[in-house]
Amino acid sequence: MNIAVIGTGYVGLVTGVCLSEIGNDVTCIDIDEEKVETLRSGKSPIYEEGLEELLQTNIQRERLHFTSNYEEGLAAKEVIFLAVGTPQGADGSADLTFLNTVCSDIVKYLHNDVVLVTKSTVPIGTNEHIKANIERIAVTNLSVRVVSNPEFLRQGSAVYDTFNGDRIVLGSEDDEAMEIMEEIYRPYNIPIVKTDLRSAEMIKYASNTFLATKISFINEIANLCEHVGANVDDVANGIGMDSRIGGRFLKAGIGYGGSCFPKDTNAIITLGNRVDYPMFILESVQYVNEKQTDLLVDKIIKRFSGSIENKTIAILGLAFKANTDDMRGAPSIQVAHRIIDAGAKINAYDPVAVENAKSVLPKEVNYERTIEGALNQANCAVILTDWKEIKEYPISLFRQHLSYPMVFDGRNCFSLEKFNGSDIEYHSVGRPAINRQN
């Protein structure tokens, strides 16, 4: 099939590359010319496991193309995927500026019938607006069939998730469009959920906000565990084994971040307020999440008797989660600002996110190329991302490189047993502190 994908970010690029891998001819369009040049040369502008390999293979097979020219990119396409950003607007709702621009731009270049597929996460009702607007401005004898096809990939495992998703959601009122979409996705062999446009849009928000709810729930339980001497890892394991609850997304820590959970939770809360149906659970989910990052910093400051002025803090991990270079919504941003504002120095390490971190962290942060470089003579280490190399770091090296052996683990990377019997002071989330000195 001849496909265009508009927007080559985490979603658009992975979608385009994977659709070409299963045999389609795909042209990815982006207004960012530098990005397009990078992609044409076979380099991925984002860090995603397995992506660059597939990118290069399919460019060589001549079925994956990149352009910033709409006319060239849209020529003779049967299906157009929309995958531009829908960031959080000033009032908390999803900002549809990019999407609206694309929709009015593409109309000028449509010369044949087409299926228009929205992958971007959009508020309920958006696809109906798209459909109405396009019908209003498009050439009358053209058929533009609109499909909502929300994306569920996770950053860091985006290629894997595309080929191994739990389900594909297709929303449309148009049977022919549904058939075309089912044909495109058949090679993935993933169950398809078919619904109307509005329900498809709602499935995306309900999924993300439910997962965010699980995380805030376990974080709230974790905080209570600390007060009453229980261990949240055991609690999560114990409740997760109940198949009605399920064990995933019950990892306590410094709260959820990223480009999706915070903004999508905000968008649905804003939508609820707009239709006069306040989302009480989600407001609490958001409140718990915002507090969670602060709790870790409060714990550090308290341990230093109320002041971290002139202390040096080693931060291990900056990205919002492991296996990505994305800093959008990363808890490290809030943590770094608070630490710098409190008068301490930061030596930071992340295996891939440093370049992106430089534009969002305070300018005072010093970046190191190795874990040892960050630990070197620091007063304590703070773990903010559970990168494999951090989780597997030999704990004796904390002792060797820090000026005082103390670790604050915001991701519960280590088992408590590892620190029992050592002389390293270890604080984590929702679990008893080990070797606490005061």
Ligand X SMILES: O=c1ccn([C@@H]2O[C@H](COP(=O)(O)OP(=O)(O)O[C@H]3O[C@H](CO)[C@@H](O)[C@H](O)[C@H]3O)[C@@H](O)[C@H]2O)c(=O)[nH]1
Ligand Y SMILES: NC(=O)c1ccc[n+]([C@@H]2O[C@H](COP(=O)([O-])OP(=O)(O)OC[C@H]3O[C@@H](n4cnc5c(N)ncnc54)[C@H](O)[C@@H]3O)[C@@H](O)[C@H]2O)c1
- Per annotation, catalytic residue among 18, 225, 260, 413: 260
Asked if 106 interacts with ligand Y (CB under 6 A), we say: no
Asked if 358 interacts with ligand X (CB under 6 A), we say: no
Asked if 6 interacts with ligand Y (CB under 6 A), we say: yes
Rounded Cα distance between 354 and 362, Å, is 12
Provide the strand spans (E) within 282-330.
Answer: 312-316
Residue 280 carries which side chain, given as an amino acid letter? F
Q: What are all long-range contacts of 87-94, with beta carbons under 8 Å and residues at least 24 apart? A: 87/259, 87/263, 88/262, 88/263, 88/266, 88/267, 91/270, 92/266, 92/267, 92/269, 92/270, 93/123, 93/266, 93/267, 93/270, 93/271, 93/274, 94/121, 94/122, 94/123, 94/263, 94/267
Neighbours of 69 (CB within 10 A): 13
Q: Which of 250, 288, 336, 371 binds ligand X (CB under 6 A)?
A: 250
Nearer to ligand X, 24 or 121 (CB): 121
x/- mask, ligand Y, residues 121-160, rule CB under 6 A, reads x-----------------------------x-x-x-----
Asked if 258 interacts with ligand X (CB under 6 A), we say: yes
Asked if 387 interacts with ligand X (CB under 6 A), we say: no
Q: How far is the CB of 436 from ligand Y (least distance, A)?
A: 38
Nearer to ligand Y, 6 or 300 (CB): 6
Asked if 215 interacts with ligand X (CB under 6 A), we say: yes
Instruction: Tell me the site size for ligand X, rule CB under 6 A.
Output: 20
C-alpha closest to that of 109 among 157, 74, 144? 74
Both tokens of residue 289?
């999440």
Q: How far is the CB of 110 from ligand X (least distance, A)?
A: 28
Asked if 163 interacts with ligand X (CB under 6 A), we say: no
Scanning 10-18, 314-322, 338-346, 409-417 for contacts with ligand Y by CB under 6 A, the matching segment is 10-18
Please list the active-site residues.
260
Binding site for ligand Y (CB under 6 A): 6-12, 29-32, 35, 83-86, 98, 101-102, 119-121, 151, 153, 155, 259-260
